[in-house]
Amino acid sequence: MEKALYYGLLTFFLTGLGASLIFLTRGNPRKFLCLSLGFAGGVMVSASFFSLILPSIKIFGEGSIISALKLSFGFILGVAILRLLDIITPHLHPGVTSLEKEGPAIQLKKSVLLFLAVTIHNIPEGLAVGVSLTLELALAIGIQNIPEGLALALAFRAAGLSKFQSFFYGFVSAIVEPIFSLLGAFLIDISKFLLPYAMSLAAGAMIFVVIEEILPTAQKLENPDFASLGFGIGFLSMLILDAGLG
């Protein structure tokens, strides 16, 4: 449990580090937002496969249709949970207009909608850190949280908040990461039987976030090639960390 807390706090504070860079920036560099979203997507897809799906396959047992079905159950459950949160939570993805807000038609400020979208995004990241309890995954999530933290702060700034408010909300939006890291570790601590299911669930949740939110949002911004470049850099960064520290 202590390791889950430390790793969760690491990703949380690295988000704050990225958000703090808002004090050094001017304007709203959309190219950077596009690059950082792609980078986040690359890290999350790579982490889902190398740090969550592959280990869960080894635990379930290779070469068995039953193992494949068990893995699929956890993965689909992760997708379903995030889809449910996506449906019931009013939110607005960074970089898009207020006309493209999702969820229930509730009148909320743009900054609040952005905050809710980012919070949903951070839940599977925290859960993944807690169920894997590997340094390479915590570092990868934390590293991608630095440019992501700045991108979020820029989005809040573009929504009309002050630089301090943008930093604060960009930072606090990641508080769910240590919380869900602890929750994931707690579930595994109750029963080791849940470990491969929790891993595949976290992988499904992260893949859903990438496909439903991160990459489509990045492609809507100018210079979508930056999103592709960021995705490649993020994927390779996680692969190198996994190969070097795993």
For 93-134, the three-class secondary structure string (H helix, E strand, C coil) is CCCCCHHHCECCCCCCCHHHHHHHHHHHHHHHHHHHHHHHCC
Amino acid at 224: P
Instruction: Give the single-character DSSP code of 224.
Output: T
Paired strand residues for 102: 91
- Between the CA of residue 107 and those of 51, 83, 116, 182, 209, what are the distances in Å? 39, 21, 13, 33, 24
The pair of three-digit structure tokens given for residue 167, joined into one six-digit string: 């930093």
What average pLDDT does the segment 200-205 reach?
94
3-state secondary structure of 91: strand
Question: What is the DSSP code string of 135-185?
Answer: HHHHHHHHHHHHHHHHHHHHHHHHTT--HHHHHHHHHHGGGHHHHHHHHHH
What average pLDDT does the segment 202-207 reach?
94
The size of the chain, in residues, is 246
pLDDT of residue 147: 84
Question: Long-range contacts: 208-212, Cβ < 8 Å, 24+?
Answer: 208/78, 208/79, 208/82, 208/83, 208/124, 209/44, 209/82, 209/120, 209/121, 209/124, 210/41, 210/44, 210/45, 212/82, 212/83, 212/86
- Comparing 36 with 165, the larger pLDDT belongs to 165
pLDDT of residue 200: 94
Q: What is the pLDDT of residues 171-190, one digit of tens each?
A: 998 999 999 999 999 988 88
- Residues 150, 24: Cα–Cα separation, whole Å: 10
- Residue 115: is its pLDDT beyond 90? no
- Residues 92, 103: Cα–Cα separation, whole Å: 9
Average pLDDT over the chain reads 87
- Residues 70, 230: Cα–Cα separation, whole Å: 33
- Residues 150, 131: Cα–Cα separation, whole Å: 27
Q: Are residues 214 and 37 in contact, defined by beta-carbon separation less than 8 angstroms?
A: yes
pLDDT of residue 223: 73
Q: What is the pLDDT of residues 217-241, one digit of tens each?
A: 887 776 778 889 999 999 998 888 8
- Residue 103: is its pLDDT beyond 90? no
pLDDT of residue 129: 94
What average pLDDT does the segment 25-43 reach?
81
Q: Are residues 31 and 212 in contact, defined by beta-carbon separation less than 8 angstroms?
A: no
What average pLDDT does the segment 7-35 reach?
87
Its pTM stands at 0.88
The pair of three-digit structure tokens given for residue 52, joined into one six-digit string: 């969550």
Residue in 151, 180, 156 with CA at minimum distance from that of residue 168: 156
